[in-house]
Structure 1
Amino acid sequence: MPTQMNGLLVLIASPTDTKEERAAVRNGLVDWNIQRGRRDRIAVLPWLWERSAVPMMGGHPQALVNSQAVDQADVVVAFFDARLGSPTDVDVSGTAEEINRAITLGKPVHVYFSTEPLDRSSLNTDQYAALQDFRHDLESRGLLGEYSDPTDLAAQVARAVEHDITANDWSDLKGSQPSASPSPRGAILNWHHDHEKEQQGLDQRGNMKYRTLSNDLVVQNTGDQDAEDLRFTVSAIGDTPFHFDEPQTAVTVLQGSQMSWLLIFAPHMGSTGRTVLIEAEWREGNEARSKRWTVTLKN
């Protein structure tokens, strides 16, 4: 007899030098479905760009991956061998952009680094150095994992996904039939730094000039309740330099709406930090709520 199940979309993000790892993680999640999925009433759906992305025109490739995968995913799993990957318009690499975007959106993110011996004959030293810088940045924001080979990575990813399923009660369907009146989810706040600029031609030295279109800290409420009397602080993580025009009074972020305030990332010689900590308190009716987020700043 067919079993009603939840679907959990897991984005598998990594640079191009991790083909074996990508295949192993995908196969491991498929095996998990066979061994555990029916019993736990949840299907884990691995998303890999080379298998799942829908070809489209009218946008930067990374932006299309973001909309099809990062924004829709329930969990993001990322891993690195010896390369960071190619830079995008907004971050040091496509995989880095996917990680930072998922963190900003409040999704569970698990990141792993290989401990396998390096092949010095084919090592790109610039890529490896950039990868170490990115790893150092991530270490200041959370707990990272390491893997010894693709099989080890696949097993660790399966455990991480199991943890997320348990922590979020994703396997609990609340009965065999969908509820006619689902329980309120409350206010769901997501924070990100909205920074856009456009090209303005070349200056007298032949360098490209840009005009800033937006430079804001944005909070979105994607839940089904208002976030009332929201008060929050923004503080640097490490030596992150920034200027913030903070609100002088508490605000209410209505469900389905967003608010923004000027926030400028102002790096200077010697600074390495790019993240800030958001600490917020608000009410949902008579219930007090609080939460912390990290936001990556763009320039």
Structure 2
Amino acid sequence: MAQAWFATGPEGLSDWELREVDVRAPGPGEVTIRVRAVGMNPADVKYPTRPDATFPFPIGYEVSGEITALGAGTQIGSGAATVGDEALAFRLSGGYATELTVPAEKVFAKPSTLAHPEAANLFLAGATAAELLELSGARSGDTVLFHAASGAVGVSFLQQAAVRGVRVVGTAGERNADVVRRYGGIPITYGPGLVQRAKDAAAGASFVASLDGVGTDEAIEASLALVEDRTRIITIVRRDLESEGIVAIGGMLPASAAFRDAVRGELVDLARRGLLEVPVARTFPFADAVQAARFLMEGHPGGKLALLP
């Protein structure tokens, strides 16, 4: 028997429940993973409260662990694999589990450069950042603005942009300015005068794109003031702005899902080469998922969180 967390109703964390579950043997094209770390994301809390959610709702989307069984003739997303190999997996249903059987194409060999808590948090933030960078159209030498640059998606974006030679001016609170600098960005603070601070940081360069990870009116207004082409203002938060020509992306959208699936191998390779770190602020025992999720949703954990079975 394994254990897994489920939402039993739409009321949020009060409806979360830890249950014992059977883990079925993998068939062809499937892999069973013993989970060593569970990646945590705001979507874990938000999606079970959506109007179309059905219950019990299995929680969690990404994990890292080791392969305990493979279906006959099965390869994982990164190629050949054997029992005992360390692996990470993304776009799962029910990742808050101690062991689970998943489609093999969702599973990739874990880079040795990442510990399990880091590997368990690579894909969701990393793939979101990769999609933002791709849609920005930014090339080497270009300058972009990123709102909420010290968050998980922002930190991954800063590193991926650096690989491409893209310069990033990133908004952040004063206490997080060093995080933005550490990963190659130019930090500026929120608040009155944001547009002028962004121009000053760009040192005469034009912003080719603005990426929004926070969704505030201030961020959107600054983006509109600094970037003329609205198709290069891209948000992961504000779906309500699409009618104004601003591009909204999200993992539930078919185009976003297809891109994020396709970029997984590239993210693993960047991590393997030491070009993509995943800062983890804190880990929690698996049984403390509700406490961990509450901490996550309070706002600024200072890095990714992971549950450890």
TM-score interval, smaller chain: under 0.3
**Highest CA radius of gyration, 1 or 2?**
1
Greater helix fraction, Structure 1 or Structure 2? 2
Say which structure, 1 or 2, has more relative contact order (CA 8 Å, 6+ apart). 2
What TM-score comes out, normalization by structure 1 length?
A: 0.25
What TM-score comes out, normalization by structure 2 length?
A: 0.25
Greater strand fraction, Structure 1 or Structure 2? 1
